[in-house]
């Protein structure tokens, strides 16, 4: 539908603005897309309580996510833990508190590094794969065929993927924590001249068990968010293979942005609700 030309005060016609489609697209992205996403998320939550649960789909998706994320997670966790240990070790040495190197490194890795690394890998590897799979089903009209047959695509396809991402996220977070702490220990002892006993004995200096609980909650929330964003972009993909490719790119970017915002909110709530341990 073409836009009617505007008239100026003198009565002459003014050509339609080329910025109007851009403005309409911005309004659609800012207002309509978040609303549709939250509506789909609520429908997915309701579908979680429907029986029967798709155990076979859940196990297949969980195994696929594990297969594409475990190796990159370990390879990223080692240098991540090492660089955190090096930075924290240099700072602690300047402050004259070398005995607390282990506890501060553990705090940095467990509280922030492990859930962030887990979230980024799930969003990049698992989220892109979920979006591509659902987007391909959408453009092949398999989703429409399921709805015609009375099958709820959210219950059949989205719910198992959400549970798979959340379930695998918990274990990936544990792997990142263990590997990151081990990498920090090795680099602290080898490159900074730290003693193994001081590093190990200071674990309980500042770190506490709720720190691990907080990291696990973050990993759970991040996994659910990445799966929901990927499912939404996949189910709303259009325009053929190019549309699916664009949806995959948008999934990774949007999921990463949402995960960082959620990380800030959860960290702020944790510091407000849980008393911190003193030296």
Report the alpha-carbon distance of residue 136 to residue 242 in Å, rounded.
11
Structural tokens at position 267: 């960290």
Rounded to a whole number, what is the distance in angstroms from the first to the last CA of the chain?
69
pLDDT tens for 99-145 read 666 667 777 788 778 888 888 888 888 888 899 999 999 888 888 88
What does each of the 279 residues of the chain score in pLDDT, given as a tens digit? 455 555 555 555 555 555 555 555 555 566 777 888 888 889 888 888 888 888 888 999 899 888 888 888 888 888 777 777 777 767 766 666 666 666 677 777 887 788 888 888 888 888 888 999 999 998 888 888 888 888 888 998 999 999 999 999 888 888 888 888 887 777 777 776 666 676 666 666 666 777 788 888 888 998 899 999 999 999 888 888 888 888 898 888 888 888 888 888 888 888 888 766 655
Q: What six digits make up the tokens of 198? A: 């001081």
Contacts of 89 (CB under 8 A, 6+ apart): 101, 105, 188, 192, 194
Q: Is the dihedral of CA 42, 245, 80, 94 positive or negative?
A: negative
What's the rounded Cα separation, in Å, for the pair 173 and 77? 10
**pLDDT tens sequence across 169-204:** 888 888 888 888 887 777 777 776 666 676 666 666
């Amino acid at each position: 539908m073409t836009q009617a030309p505007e008239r100026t005060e003198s009565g002459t016609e003014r050509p339609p603005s080329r910025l109007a489609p851009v403005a309409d697209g911005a309004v659609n992205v800012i207002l309509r897309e978040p609303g549709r996403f939250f509506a789909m998320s609520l429908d997915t939550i309701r579908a979680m309580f429907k029986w029967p649960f798709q155990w076979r789909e859940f196990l297949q998706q969980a195994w696929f996510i594990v297969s594409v994320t475990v190796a990159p997670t370990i390879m990223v966790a080692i240098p991540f833990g090492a660089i955190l240990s090096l930075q924290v070790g240099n700072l602690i040495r300047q402050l004259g508190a070398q005995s607390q190197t282990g506890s501060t490194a553990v705090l940095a890795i467990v509280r922030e590094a492990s859930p962030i690394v887990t979230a980024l890998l799930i969003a990049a590897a698992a989220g892109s794969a979920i979006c591509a799979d659902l987007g391909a089903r959408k453009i092949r009209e398999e989703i429409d065929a399921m709805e015609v047959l009375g099958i709820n695509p959210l219950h059949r396809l989205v719910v198992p993927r959400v549970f798979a991402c959340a379930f695998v996220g918990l274990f990936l977070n544990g792997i990142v924590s263990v590997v990151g702490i081990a990498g920090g220990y090795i680099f602290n002892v080898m490159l900074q001249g730290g003693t193994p006993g001081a590093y190990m004995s200071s674990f309980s200096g500042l770190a506490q068990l709720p720190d691990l609980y907080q990291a696990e909650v973050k990993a759970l929330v991040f996994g659910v968010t990445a799966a929901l964003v990927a499912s939404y972009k996949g189910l709303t993909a259009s325009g053929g293979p190019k549309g699916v490719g664009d949806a995959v790119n948008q999934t990774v970017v949007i999921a990463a942005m949402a995960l960082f915002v959620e990380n800030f909110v959860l960290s702020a709530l944790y510091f407000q609700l849980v008393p911190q341990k003193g030296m």
